[in-house]
Amino acid sequence: MGISGSTQKDEHPPTTIKKHIFILSGQSNMAGRGGVKNRQWDRIIPDDCKPDPSSIHRLNANLIWETAQEPLHADIDTAKTCGVGPGMSFANAVKDYITGIIDLVPCAVGGTAIKEWAKGQKLYEDMVRRSKSAASTGGEIKAILWYQGESDASSEQDAESYRSNMENLIHNIRSDLGLPSLPIIQVVIASGDEKHLEVVREAQKAIDLPNVVCVDAKGLELREDNLHLTTDAQRPLQSPILRLDISYVVQQVCIHMHSPMIEHWDALKLHPTLIAYFDADWAGWPGTRRSTSGYCVYFGDNLISWSSKRQATISRSIAEAEYRGVANIAAEICWLRNLLLELHCPLTWVTLVYCDNISAIYLSGNPVQHQRTKHIELDIHFVREQVQQGQVRILQVPSPYQIVDIFTKGLP
């Protein structure tokens, strides 16, 4: 079954833009059956499940990154018709909390019992292979989202052995991916064979391993088959998953707050890098034809400084308007680096600044002073000095990934 819409391969942004990988695994309620009736998907996509080519990608069956769109699992869970699942609503929600690209790796297959995910089985090996392929392109595996267990509720033996099978799966996947602390966010099932449903639910909630958290799906609306979640039920599922993902990280740091060791400080600080983006809207102000400059600066994943304002003088070219913006962001970075130095958190590496104008990038590093650029000579000398001192490096970012457009241009 093909993916609806375009499946043209998307180019990832520069590798310095962080990529956050989430593995979607389990069975049909993770693969998505929302909007499916009589083996036909109604193709209704809620707003919070809409694709975002600039921020959310998926790894398809051929291990190629492309724009993520519903149904996410159409080329993975091919035996049944896939519809809306929890993956896209989760990705659209989480992108508001972290900076970078959300990479989804669909692995779920409907109608599968936990023993079919044991090490050595095809489903398990495919999940490991796809996860490693995703990480090999650059990025960090943040968590596995796991929704499975309905098939185990039909057998007393499967239900009673669920906990040990799931704990073995967690140990194996962490070992094979080389991530001993990989978070596992497990959905406690809400449907299945009533005879053993509560046995499986209790087994899921009883799993006592580090970095394993549960969210209960009980109470969410089911389709007529009393097994699969409706489209409306798939969407709110992302909220508790997202809260658990964030709260768990905070909880783990707080546990050691009274006697933190070096590794705990490292986990809290991660990599305290400054990354900046800037853009300019040349002659965009109708009354005076002045340009608008905008920039934003991130410290790690946190936005700490931003600006959007008209330039003081009229620029005679787009390169001039962009370069005046470079001078502004360079001055801001210089101030921020000095502030961090006074706070005993000095930065020993260059601050990356992303711009989508080639001329401005060339001017920042070109030692030759041209006649036609003398009217912005002070800005050129200031920025070039910062570049030569290793404080700032100006790089190009493709326009689709220029996040400062919202500061300089009207929203559609």
Within 10 A of 329 (CB to CB), how many other CB atoms are there? Answer: 28
Per-state percent for the chain, helix, strand, coil, to nearest 5: 40, 20, 40
Within 10 A of 274 (CB to CB), how many other CB atoms are there? Answer: 23
Q: Is the pLDDT of residue 315 over 60?
A: yes
* CA pair distance 189, 287, nearest whole angstrom: 61
Residue 8: pLDDT band with limits 50, 70, 90: very low
| Selected catalytic residue, list 181, 208, 225, 344 | 225
At a CB cut-off of 8 Å and minimum separation 6, what does 404 contact? 277, 278, 279, 294, 295, 296
Residue ranges covered by each domain of the chain: 19-255, 271-408
Partner residues linked to 354 by β-bridges: 277, 395
Q: If DSSP codes are grouped into helix, strand and coil, which group holds residue 65?
A: strand
Q: Is the pLDDT of residue 153 over 50?
A: yes
Average pLDDT value over all residues in the chain: 78
The answer to whether the predicted template modeling score (pTM) of the entire model surpasses 0.75 is: no
Overall average pLDDT of the 207-218 stretch: 82
**End-to-end CA, the chain:** 34
The candidate with the shortest Cα–Cα distance to 28, out of 95, 70, 76, 69, is 76
> Would you say 24 and 72 are in contact if contact means Cβ atoms under 8 Å apart?
yes
**CATH code for the part of the protein at 271-408:** 3.30.420.10
Would you state the pLDDT for residue 5?
Answer: 41
314 compared with 246, residue with greater pLDDT:
314
**Of the options 3.40.630.10, 3.40.50.1110, 3.40.50.300, 3.20.20.70, the CATH number for the domain spanning 19-255:** 3.40.50.1110
Cα–Cα distances in angstroms (integers) from residue 94 to residues 89, 213, 297, in the given order: 9, 17, 20
* CA pair distance 123, 312, nearest whole angstrom: 61
* CA pair distance 275, 16, nearest whole angstrom: 9
Would you state the pLDDT for residue 290?
Answer: 76
Residue 13: pLDDT band with limits 50, 70, 90: very low
Would you state the pLDDT for residue 369?
Answer: 52
Within 10 A of 51 (CB to CB), how many other CB atoms are there? Answer: 20
291 is annotated as an active-site residue:
no
Task: Note the pLDDT tens digit of each residue in 372-384.
Answer: 555 555 555 667 6
Sign of CA dihedral 172, 175, 180, 183: negative
28 is annotated as an active-site residue:
yes
Q: What percent of the chain has pLDDT over 70?
A: 70
55 is annotated as an active-site residue:
no
| Selected catalytic residue, list 25, 151, 228, 356 | 228
Would you state the pLDDT for residue 12?
Answer: 46
Residue 117: pLDDT band with limits 50, 70, 90: very high
| Selected catalytic residue, list 28, 89, 293, 364 | 28
Would you state the pLDDT for residue 407?
Answer: 66
Task: Note the pLDDT tens digit of each residue in 68-108.
Answer: 999 999 999 999 899 888 888 888 877 766 778 899 999 99
